[in-house]
Amino acid sequence: MCNRYLNDLRKAGLELEVFGFEEWSETQIEVFPDREGLVFAKDREGRLAAQVMRWGFPPPPAQAAQRPVTNVRNLDSPYWRGWLDPRWRCLVPFTAFAEWSDERPKRERWFGLSSGRGGCFAGIWRPWTGVRGPKSAPVSGEHKLFAFLTCAPNRVVRPIHAKAMPVILEEAEAQRAWLEAPAAAVPVLAAPIADEALTVLDEAA
């Protein structure tokens, strides 16, 4: 389960070329659960807009652990079904992501696109009211929360982490499809990226 990723748009040269702005500095480059990250979602006018959201949905009421749920796995779950509608979909830009290896002792392994560019995770978002953030600096009030879909790992990720990997959207066409396709198409869109499009990184930097 991906619980750490990098979003260094400036290093990847994506700010102006892909997202239409020259500099972004409102969020940290390294994103952890329950921290703020950059997300692109449609605004009230239907335009794709950069927004700051907090990573992790609230856990289902029946779930014993109360940690934020960062990854969407079971698309058939009633908990997720209502949030898969196009109006709740978003793009979560990234330049690298980490998975814990299945080996012992476990260690973080980093992955990135073979092109050296950044891409987007297929995300969903929701409004929520409550207390979020670290215990040292809790934030009470209204929040926008996001999570992203996972799928079966491709042949690059599977030997290292066999459980799952994020759903990655590299090209603009795939990103538009994720934002606009009907809910019935989500299981088809939630597929691993092509093996040749992903590579193992020696380090995250």
**pLDDT tens for each residue of 95-120:** 899 999 988 888 899 999 999 888 99
**Proportion of the chain above pLDDT 90, given as a percent:** 56
How far apart (Å, rounded) are the C-alpha atoms in residues 94 and 112? 9
CATH number at residue 130: 3.90.1680.10
Rounded mean pLDDT of 159-177?
93
Q: Read off the DSSP letter of residue 62.
A: T
Tens-place pLDDT, residues 50-81: 888 999 999 887 665 678 999 999 999 999 98
pLDDT (0 to 100) of residue 156: 97
Whole-number pLDDT of residue 63: 66
Give the helix/strand (H/E) hosting 172: helix 172-180
Question: What domain range includes position 189?
Answer: 5-201
* Overall domain count for the chain: 1
Question: Sign of the CA dihedral 200, 29, 169, 117?
Answer: negative
Cα–Cα distance list, 107 to 34, 72, 88, 202 (Å): 21, 23, 33, 12
Q: How far apart are CA 171 and CA 58, in angstroms?
A: 30
